[in-house]
Structures are given as structure tokens and as C-alpha cells.
Chains A and B, each alone.
Chain A
Amino acid sequence: MTTASGYNFAYLDEQTKRMIRRAILKAVAIPGYQVPFGSREMPLPYGWGTGGIQVTAAVIGPDDRLKVIDQGADDTTNAVSIRRFFARTAGVATTERTTAATVIQTRHRIPETPLTEGQILVYQVPIPEPLRWLEPRETETRRMHALADYGAMHVKLYEDIARYGRIATTYDYPVLVNDRYLMRPSPIPKFDNPKMDMSPALQLFGAGREKRIYAVPPYTKVRSLDFKDHPFAVQSWDRPCELCGATDSFLDEVVTDDRGGRMFVCSDTDHCGTRRDAAQEAAE
């Protein structure tokens, strides 16, 4: 694919990228803290990943290899569009292999394949403030963060257990970063929360509409909130992936016909495909 002319490298102008990098540096220095930044209009609507794209544009270089996933899949509309956007405006190489990528922009999932040092995971964040549904005032939530006054978050979890008998929050599950800041991990399933803890990769979070950037540096403690008698637990399935047979991955339910037929398959398409290829090779 040829690079589009008339654009600066990776679409954003250099001053904007500098501003975003400064915000990222601050975010990395204070893990979990939401740094305000001057979010720009992007050529796609809010809610489609404008924050993530701006962060990616600010950190990507000509030698990087970009992977974009949406709900774990590399071939969904959003993932394809964003991948093509950077292929055109930055001329960077793209990939669907988690292991080959240096920058991974994601929505809703963390790849099943463990990330390694040097990789950057960029999350698209719709609402960065974990306390928003409990406290609508921004001045007050900032004060709560400043004072590490996070009791209210447990009220929500308490309410879950009182109503459903267990913590019913299954995605965007609140975490405490580096024992200090409460953070929303963006709408990833809580299945992925343990992958954030002590991850060797750099994790950056961009919220375009809300104009916030935050980060989890490599090897940082990320703890999911819970109660002593209701410990944090991830989802599990009573069957393996029907395509690759994986028992340890996050499964999507796919409706196959209008007579109640359905199958459970890995949501991470790269993970599933790699396993199937390996199985086929072993068989041959």
C-alpha cells in the first residue's frame, strides 16, 4: 500500500505529537494517573478509538510494526480501518501476529499470547474515570484520587454482591495501579485483568473524547479490587474453543443458525489461528 501524500508522518502534526508524548511521559511517571491532554479532531467519530489513535500516532516510528485488534479480532471493521489508516498515513508495516508486532492498538481485549519487553499496548478508552458513575463531579473525583479516597468503589462491588450474590462486574473491572491510583482498564473483560499485572510491555490508555491519557509502565503492580470473602475471579467456560481446542482463552459465543445453533470460539483470532496452524503442522 502506498503512503498517502499531503499528510505528516502518522497524520498528526509534530507539535501535537510532542504534546501527546509529554502527556504520555507524565502518565508513565505516575502510573494510573489521568493526564489531561489537548485531544484533536480525528478523521473518525468519537467512540471509534480517537484516543487510542492519537496515542499510537505519537509513539509509532517508521520501523514499528502495528497490529490492531477489536474485540480480539484482527479482521473487524474498526481494526481494519485503523490498520489501513496508519499504513497509509505513516507507511508502517502492519501485522496480525501478536509476537511480530511492536505496537498493538486494542479495543476490548488483551492478546492471549503473553506480551514481551519492548512491546507497546495502546488501549482505546471510552470513559477514563473509574469513579464517574458514583460521583458525577469532576472536581470531586479528582479530589478523591488526590486523597486516595476510594471507599465508594467498594460500595459498588458490595451492591453487586447484595443483588447478584457475586461481583457482577465483568468488564472494565476497576484496578488499583501500583497500590495508589484507581484505574479503569477500558472495557476489557475481567478475564484480561491479571494480564496487566507485572506485564513486561508498556500499556498506554488514550481517551479522545474525555481528553485523558494514562499509563501502566512495564512491571507495575495492577490489582483488581475485591472483598476478602469474595475474591476476584475471572470468567471460565465449561467447554474448549471449538476451532482450536484451547481451554485457557476467552471465548466468544457465535450464533450459527436460527435454530439455536451456537459455538464457542476464541475471541483472539491470532491466538486461535496460530494454534490451528501448529496443530495442522503436527498432524502432517
Chain B
Amino acid sequence: MTGPLLTVAGLTRLYGARVGCRDVSFELWPGEVMGIVGESGSGKTTLLNCLSARLEPSTGHVVYDTRDDGPIDIYAMSEPRRRLLMRTDWGIVHQNPRDGLRMGVSAGANVGERLMAVGARHYGEIRAQADEWLRKVEIEPERIDDLPLTFSGGMLQRLQIARNLVTHPRLVFMDEPTGGLDVSVQARLLDLLRRLVTDLGLAAIVVTHDLAVARLLAHRLMVMRRGEVVETGLTDQVLDDPHHPYTQLLVSSVLQP
């Protein structure tokens, strides 16, 4: 019997008097994909940063079910422990792949970095794993020694995903994973993400303002407005039968081609 992977209780982050996010509570179960939607400035990214141990919340708890020691509050952990967790059991996919990649070293080194950080010291094995992961994210293996600078936007995003998944994390945080990509590339990326999430049994928290992305990826949805969660529920339920007036506005403002 396992409990929830991530338990969030009363999470509030204030920027002085202004509210980043207020009183957010939810549970995320293993293998579940949670979408966070809302307009710009609604506190989605603040919430994601608080959840992924990059921004200390003003109040509230984020408890993660670690592999070895069970549920632990991530902000009560020692820093080395937290860093290890962030680079083994977690993945963080940034909106701008340049934030999550080392642009000055080859694709292979980017994928291998996490392995080396946790102690891999065999060049051949690191390279074999990098090769395998590039294949999995549909990057031709002969580009393993190319610099990310020579990659297209979609490839960069896929490289970033490979880099995060190489240590077989259980939880991945994604901030607008398809932002800034054109529509056909978006579709391919979403397809890939969906397949990886299902194959690997990943749990994920996906922040997006694109409801189509949310519908494709997320099992459950949280709608945010002005730092507060106004509606939660199963994705289809929220999108097809929105209850809160703001959600109704959000759903109705999607352009139909």
C-alpha cells in the first residue's frame, strides 16, 4: 500500500504584500499527471517553483514520498539531500530549454551530466545511456557530439527532457513544455511526452496556459486565478463542464480554428 507521492498542504507564497499563490492543497499520486492552468500572472509558476524546492513557501508544507525513507517535508531536508533528490528522483523541464541545458557542451554531456553528478565514472556506460535516451526522444544518435546551439527549438526541448529522464525520476515538473514551439512540433512533443509518461509511469505536474496541452497530457486539472485555486477536477470534467465562472471564461476564450 503506497500513499500519495506528493502531498501539498496550505501552501502560500507571498511577495511582500502581494500574493504569489495562496493556500494551495492537493495530493499527487504515483503515475498521475496534474495540470495547472490559468492566465499569465495567476501564480502557476510560483506554485511550481514552490513545489519543486526552488522557492521556499511563506507557509505550508510540501511532503514528498522518498524511495528510501518515506514521506519527508522537502523544505525540512538537508540541502545535499534535497539536491540529490532533485537530480535523481525529480526532473524539472524549463519553459526555455536554454535555462535547463548547458549550451556550451555537447548533447551527450548534457544527458550524461546527471549520471556523473550521482557518481557514474565510466565513460562508455555514460555514453551508451546518452545514446539510448537520445533515441527515446527521437534525436538522431549521430548528433550526440553536437552542441545544443546547433539544435532546433523542438530538439532542444526534447534534449532537455532526455536530460531529466536519464536517472529514471518518479516525478517531473514541467513549466510550459510546449511554449514557443510551432504547432506541428508541439504535437510531436506532446505525443512523445504522453508516451514517455505512460511507458515510465511518471507522475508529472504540468504548468500551461494552453488548455489543449492540458487536455492531452493531464489526468487532473487545477485552475488558478490570482494565486488561488478556483476549481479542481478530472481534466475532461473541468474542461467540458466548467463550474467556476472564471473557468467558464477560460474555456470559452479558446480560439476555434
Taking Cβ atoms with an 8 Å cutoff, the residues of A that contact B are: 147-149, 151-152, 154-156, 158-159, 161-163, 226-230
Contacts and interface: CB of A to CB of B under 8 A. Distances in A.
Given A162-B108, A163-B145, A151 B123 contact: no
Contacts of A148: 80
Contact of A154 (B83, B106, B116): B116
Contact of A228 (B80, B122, B127): B122
Contacts of A226: 121
Dominant SS among interface residues on chain B: helix
B118 A162 contact: no
Contact of B80 (A147, A159, A161): A147
Interface residues of B, number: 22
Interface of B: 79-80, 83, 102, 105-106, 108-109, 112-114, 116-118, 121-124, 126-127, 144-145
A155 B109 CA distance: 6
Given A159-B109, A162-B109, A151 B118 contact: yes
A159 B109 CA distance: 6
The 4 closest A-B pairs by CB, nearest first: A151-B117, A154-B116, A227-B123, A228-B122
Contacts of A154: 116, 121
Nearest to B144: A162
A230 B123 contact: yes
Nearest to B113: A155
A156 B123 CA distance: 12
B117 A158 contact: no
A247 B105 CA distance: 37
A158 B124 contact: no
Contacts of B83: 147, 149
A162 B106 CA distance: 8
Contacts of A230: 123
29 contacts: A147-B79, A147-B80, A149-B83, A149-B117, A152-B113, A152-B116, A154-B116, A154-B121, A155-B102, A155-B109, A155-B112, A158-B112, A158-B126, A159-B105, A159-B109, A162-B108, A162-B109, A162-B144, A162-B145, A163-B106, A226-B121, A227-B123, A228-B121, A228-B122, A228-B123, A229-B122, A229-B123, A229-B124, A230-B123
